[in-house]
Each structure stands twice: as structure tokens, then as C-alpha cells.
Structure 1
């Protein structure tokens, strides 16, 4: 019988050697003609370990993301478009976010500032037959906060008295604080 060897690596074997090898808690004793099965087993174990490691790496970001699925508590919607449908969609989404529990802050700039005027008139949008201005008022009734930008009134024919009750005039530091707040998500339309 050939000498017993504890091998490491398997490639050091020669034909006729009788070997004992540990693989985890298992010990293998075999003669060189069966060593190919041993090599295949070790290769399979290495492949299985690599596959498990790859699966863990692939699933880890998904698991972490699933745990972070908490809703944003406060949002800033900046609306500056003069497009009726864009204004409408911004208000639809703002109202929907408020209904889902978010505190919604709206900054109205340029022509979108007109939504905050007492004299605001616009065609109603389908399917609810409401104007963006009416949706803004509804948002404010739900606790939403609306401000016109600091440039709106000085560059228009309107004053603070022309704004609907509850609409304020934003200051740049206040808006910059909201925009830089990592807990607040900003949307622009």
C-alpha cells in the first residue's frame, strides 16, 4: 500500500498514492484513480460557494432597499410652467401626495404664480373639470403650504393683497433651506 499523505494542493498527487483529505467535517481517503472524483467534488464545492456568495451580493441591495421603503414625509413642489396641463398635473400629484400623508410645500414662480391670485381663471381640465387654481386651493385645505416666489410680485402688476388667503411670499433663504434639506424631496414642473 502506498504511503498515506495529507495533501494540499491536490495537484501534488502521483498515481498510486493513497491520500486522506479533509473537506470541512468530512475526511476522504482514496487512491489516485478515484482522485478525479475528489477534484470534481472540491470544484463543485468552490462553485457552490461562489454561487451562494453571488446570490447574497445580488440580494443584499434589494433587502436593504425593501427595509428603506419609508415614505417621504415632506416635499417641495416648484411650479414655474405656464402650461395648463403641466400646472394641472403638478397639482394632481401634490394633492395625491398630501392624501398619502406627505406635507406638501408649493413654490409658484413666473406664470404659475397666477394660480395663487384671487382673480385666477383658467379652463377646467378633464376628467374632474377643475382648474389648477382650484386644485391648489384644495391642497391648501388639506394643509398644504403655498408661496409665490420672491420675484413674482415685484415683476408683475399684483400685490400681496391680490393673493388668495394663506398664500405667502417665499424668501430665498427659506426656499434654499427646503431645497437642501435631505429629508425633503423636491419636484419641479
Structure 2
């Protein structure tokens, strides 16, 4: 007879966890991806997960800082433009597809001054982030943040 109450408790707990997981998935539909790595494979993985999140219905906002910002350059380094296996896609090419799919991409506010350039050195559709706006995105209750 002791088995029945234990079984009921386990079933109720499992149902509660399932409900919480479903609610958590629904509540977190805004993705902020921060890419700072100079490693092209790491950059590309950030792009892949951002694109898959867009396909799953999330809104996507990407912040590129430091070496990660180089992906946004019209005259980007080879590491940003060289195709990677297995899909033959470069970080920059997939980033452009993310923009076409409705994702927003910005370089950090320090990137352009640090490069000694202006927005003219960036690909179309990419702007410099405003720190207050980016902080609000990062702190939003419905945001998930990925950092690469």
C-alpha cells in the first residue's frame, strides 16, 4: 500500500516538471547571441544555433564584439568568409541569412571607435548597438542569452 502514494507523488512531480518545461519554452522566445570569439568554428556554431532558433519561432538579436565584430565587416578576414564543413557555410554568410530571415545584428558600441571606422565599413543591415537598448534586451525576462 505504501507504493501507491509514492507512485502518485512521482506521477504528479513528472507532470509538474513537464508543465514547467513547456511554460519555460513558451516564455523564452527572445534570443540574444553574443559572439566575441575569433575562432571561425565557434562563430559559426553561434550562427547555426541562432538560425535554428529563428526557425523555431524565436526573435533573434546578435551582438558582435571584439574579434567577433570582424564578421560584420565588408572587408572581413578570411576566417569570417571561409566556408566550414559540413554545410560549406562561412560565419559571415550564415549571419547574412540570419538578417534576411529577420534577425537583427549589431556590433558593440566600442567596436567601430576601436577600429577607427564608421558604419560605412559594416555590411548592409548591421549597425552599432546602443548600450542601453542592448542591456534591456539582455535583462528581459523572456530572453535567453548565448555567448560564443
Q: What's the TM-score once normalised by structure 1's chain length?
A: 0.69
2:10 aligns with 55
Q: What's the TM-score once normalised by structure 2's chain length?
A: 0.86
Q: Which of these residues, 111, 114, 120, is aligned with residue 152 of structure 1?
A: 111
Q: How does 1:168-183 map to 2 (within 5 A)?
A: 168-183=127-142
CA distance in 1, matches of 2:119, 2:34: 19
CA distance in 2, matches of 1:67, 1:135: 29
1:104 aligns with 60
Listed one character per residue, the Cα deviations across residues 112-160 of structure 1 (whole Å, up to 9, x for unaligned) are: 1011111114221112222101111111000110000011011113321
CA distance in 2, matches of 1:179, 1:173: 10
Largest Rg, 1 or 2: 1
2:19 aligns with 64
Report the alpha carbon displacement of residue 66 of structure 1 after superposing the two structures with TM.
Answer: 5.1
1:24 aligns with none
- Once structures 1 and 2 are overlaid, which stretch shifts more, 80-89 or 65-74? 65-74
Q: Which of these residues, 118, 121, 125, is aligned with residue 74 of structure 2?
A: 118
Report the alpha carbon displacement of residue 49 of structure 1 after superposing the two structures with TM.
Answer: 6.2
CA distance in 1, matches of 2:76, 2:147: 21
Unaligned 5+ segments in structure 2 are: none
* Secondary structure of 2:112 counterpart: coil
The runs of at least 4 aligned residues of structure 1 exceeding 4 Å deviation read none
Aligned length in residues: 144
Task: Identify the structure with bigger relative contact order (alpha carbons < 8 Å, sequence gap 6+).
Answer: 2
Does the 8 A contact of 2:61 with 2:105 survive in 1? yes
CA distance in 2, matches of 1:177, 1:144: 17
1:140 aligns with 2:99: yes
CA distance in 1, matches of 2:15, 2:56: 29
1:83 aligns with 2:39: yes
CA distance in 2, matches of 1:91, 1:63: 29
Unaligned 5+ segments in structure 1 are: 1-43
Q: CA RMSD in A?
A: 1.9
